[in-house]
């Protein structure tokens, strides 16, 4: 290489480095990292680091935003206040630990709320949490570190105690939110309490907690993916719409995909032991509708796994419209109650004069469930004068434990129209497969039900149903037991089903097939 060429390359390299450094400097000024240790955080699990963390957030927010960085360490904290345009980044080995309440470690007090009568106390208050954000935009909490809710309560508070915290992350009326890659252990009453949010991404979270995993309430445009939630004593992923905002707001445009839910002993999911609590009936399911004032619209759930937990629960009991829902590609094992529960009720926990809601246009397909509790079949139950509408069940295979008796086959399922919506409250069902009541326009195709131990109950009981079309049904049955019992059923049709001739009845009451 000649001397001139070396000089040319040298000039080029110097120019490149100058430009590169200028870009890096500009990036640092526009989106710097704010290391919490630079603001006084010790990260030793002993000193309370809340002030240092909140100071780093304040400085970043004053500069227009940025990433507040947690290097490896244990950061003992009470309430952390998020601000707009801020990301919290928990590096590998970093853990935020919720401090136990003491005179020197006080969480923010629960804020006043004009409306505390239509939903549980915990849904009405956001400030008494480990991480809080309200009326914010462009916020993120990112991994791959951990949050340990060590000092968070699983209910409201201990007797005589103030300054407690009972939620891991509470966000209210925020938009453009990303929660990604971190792990939560022991998250208190709620790991995520999200109310009134728009445009939310929840991805690759792992939760092993003592109560609710995610409560997604009155939110729009939500994407939940690649998450694992173990919650033995409450719901894993729960959609709601309540009056905590002092007005009803629908939960709509929601996707839940590639997620796993379970109910193993708390902590045994993260350590890989997957322990079962003897004699316990875990929850750990995907559910929507416990609070159902504003409604649920345009929701799809796909490619999810249920293991040792409750089944699906879709509910409208407070005047909500639950409509346009698809559930597909679900694998379930060791299910402790009804694998599918759809309920339209009239508890009506809301302002006086609110009309009864509706459940309509629900498609459930491509489901396999094995080792399902013997007590309950799938339950689809509306109201006598307000029926569930337009339900499609397709390509579903459910393998029950079985063992039902003739006496159980004679059980009358209670109405429970005004009670809390929970499948266990209906008790043992007189059919081992599906109990369907107060429904219009039911389509059932390619559904297979079977049992491990002989069961003396029929596979299906239909009551007060108008418009039922059955195609390609496969149902194991014991000798002398009918496959289907029809009571006050109109416009019933069944075709292409083994051991049952093609049948069409305009009016069928106390009929058996």
DSSP letter string over 418-479? Answer: TS---GGGG-S-SSSSEEEEEEEEEEEEEEEEEEEE---S-SEEEEEEEEEEEEEEEE---T
Q: Are residues 107 and 157 in the same domain?
A: yes
Identify whether 269 is part of a domain. Answer: yes
Q: Are residues 250 and 396 in the same domain?
A: no
Q: Which of 444, 460, 476 is the last residue of a domain?
A: 460
Identify whether 466 is part of a domain. Answer: no
DSSP letters for 13-66: HHHHHHHHHHHHHHHHHHS-EEEGGGGT---EEEEE-HHHHHHHHHHHHHTT-E
pLDDT at 58: 98
CA dist., res. 396 & res. 400, Å (int): 13
Identify whether 79 is part of a domain. Answer: yes
pLDDT in tens, the chain (513 residues): 555 545 544 554 444 444 334 434 444 445 579 999 999 999 999 999 999 999 999 999 999 999 999 999 999 999 999 999 999 999 999 999 999 999 999 999 999 876 788 888 888 899 999 999 999 999 999 999 999 999 999 887 654 567 999 999 999 999 999 999 999 999 999 999 999 999 999 999 999 999 999 999 999 999 999 999 999 999 999 999 999 999 999 999 999 999 999 999 999 999 999 999 987 799 999 999 888 999 999 999 999 999 999 999 999 999 999 999 999 999 999 999 999 999 999 999 989 999 999 999 999 999 999 999 989 999 999 999 999 999 999 999 999 999 999 999 999 999 999 999 999 999 999 999 999 999 999 999 999 999 999 999 999 999 999 999 999 999 999 999 999 999 999 999 999 998 899 999 999 999 999
Q: Which of 460, 478, 494 is the last residue of a domain?
A: 460
> Encoding tokens for residue 276?
């079962």
Q: Are residues 167 and 253 in the same domain?
A: yes
Q: Are residues 239 and 267 in the same domain?
A: yes
CA dist., res. 11 & res. 318, Å (int): 73
Identify whether 456 is part of a domain. Answer: yes
Q: Are residues 6 and 154 in the same domain?
A: no
Q: Are residues 143 and 189 in the same domain?
A: yes
What's this model's pTM, rounded to 2 decimal places?
A: 0.93
Identify whether 375 is part of a domain. Answer: yes
Identify whether 505 is part of a domain. Answer: no
Q: Are residues 43 and 18 in the same domain?
A: no
Identify whether 107 is part of a domain. Answer: yes
Q: Are residues 226 and 323 in the same domain?
A: no
Domain containing 292 — which CATH number? 2.160.20.10
Tell me the residue range of the domain where 5 lies: 1-29
As for how many domains the chain has, the answer is: 3
Identify whether 97 is part of a domain. Answer: yes
pLDDT at 64: 95
> Encoding tokens for residue 85?
């345009």
Q: Which of 280, 309, 338 is the last residue of a domain?
A: 309
Q: Are residues 2 and 96 in the same domain?
A: no
pLDDT at 123: 85
Q: Are residues 46 and 190 in the same domain?
A: yes
> Encoding tokens for residue 362?
């629900």
Q: Are residues 290 and 318 in the same domain?
A: no
Q: Are residues 158 and 293 in the same domain?
A: yes
CA dist., res. 455 & res. 402, Å (int): 5
Would you give the DSSP letter of residue 191? Answer: E
């Amino acid at each position: 290489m000649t001397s001139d060429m070396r000089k040319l390359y040298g000039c080029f390299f110097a120019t490149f480095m100058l430009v590169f450094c200028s870009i890096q400097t500009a990036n640092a000024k526009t989106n710097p990292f704010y290391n919490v240790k630079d603001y006084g955080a010790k990260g030793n699990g002993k000193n309370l680091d809340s002030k240092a963390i909140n100071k780093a957030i304040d400085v970043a927010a004053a500069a227009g935003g940025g990433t507040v960085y947690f290097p490896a360490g244990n950061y003992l904290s009470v309430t952390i206040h998020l601000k707009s345009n801020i990301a919290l980044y928990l590096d590998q080995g970093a853990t935020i630990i919720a401090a136990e309440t003491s005179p020197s470690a006080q969480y923010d007090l629960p804020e006043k709320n004009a409306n505390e009568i239509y939903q549980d106390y915990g849904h009405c208050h956001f400030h008494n949490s480990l991480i809080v954000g309200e009326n914010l935009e462009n916020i993120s909490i990112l991994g791959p570190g951990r949050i340990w809710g060590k000092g968070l309560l699983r209910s409201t508070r201990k007797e005589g105690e103030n300054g407690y915290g009972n939620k891991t992350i509470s966000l209210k009326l925020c938009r453009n939110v990303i929660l990604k890659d971190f792990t939560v252990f022991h998250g208190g009453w709620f790991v995520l309490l999200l109310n009134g949010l728009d445009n939310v991404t929840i991805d690759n979270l792992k939760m092993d907690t003592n109560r609710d995993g995610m409560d997604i309430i009155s939110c729009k445009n939500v994407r939940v993916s690649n998450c694992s939630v173990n919650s033995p004593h409450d719901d894993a992923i729960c959609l709601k719409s309540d009056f905590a905002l002092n007005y009803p707001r629908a939960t709509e445009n929601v996707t839940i995909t590639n997620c796993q839910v379970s109910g193993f002993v708390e902590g045994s999911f993260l350590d890989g032991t997957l322990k079962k609590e003897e004699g316990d009936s875990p929850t750990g399911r995907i559910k929507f509708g416990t609070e159902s004032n504003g409604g649920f619209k345009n929701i799809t759930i796909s490619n999810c796994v249920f293991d040792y937990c409750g089944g699906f629960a879709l509910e409208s009991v407070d005047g909500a419209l639950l409509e346009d829902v698809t559930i597909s590609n679900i694998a379930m094992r060791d299910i402790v109650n009804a694998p599918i529960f759809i309920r339209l009720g009239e508890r009506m926990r809301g302002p006086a004069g609110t009309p009864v809601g509706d459940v309509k246009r629900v498609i459930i397909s491509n489901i396999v469930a094995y080792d399902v509790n013997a007590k309950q079949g799938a339950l689809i139950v509306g109201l006598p004068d307000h029926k569930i509408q337009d339900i499609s069940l397709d390509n579903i295979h459910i393998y029950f434990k079985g063992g039902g008796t003739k006496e159980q086959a004679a059980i009358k399922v209670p109405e429970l129209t005004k009670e809390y919506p929970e499948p266990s409250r209906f008790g043992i069902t007189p059919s081992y497969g599906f109990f369907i009541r107060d429904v219009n326009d039911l389509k059932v195709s390619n559904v297979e039900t079977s049992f491990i131990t002989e069961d003396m109950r029929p596979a299906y009981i239909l009551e007060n149903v108008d418009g039922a079309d059955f195609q390609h049904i496969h149902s194991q049955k014991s000798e002398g037991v009918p496959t289907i019992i029809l009571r006050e059923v109109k416009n019933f049709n069944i075709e292409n089903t083994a051991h049952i001739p093609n049948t069409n009845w305009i009016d069928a009451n106390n009929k058996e097939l």
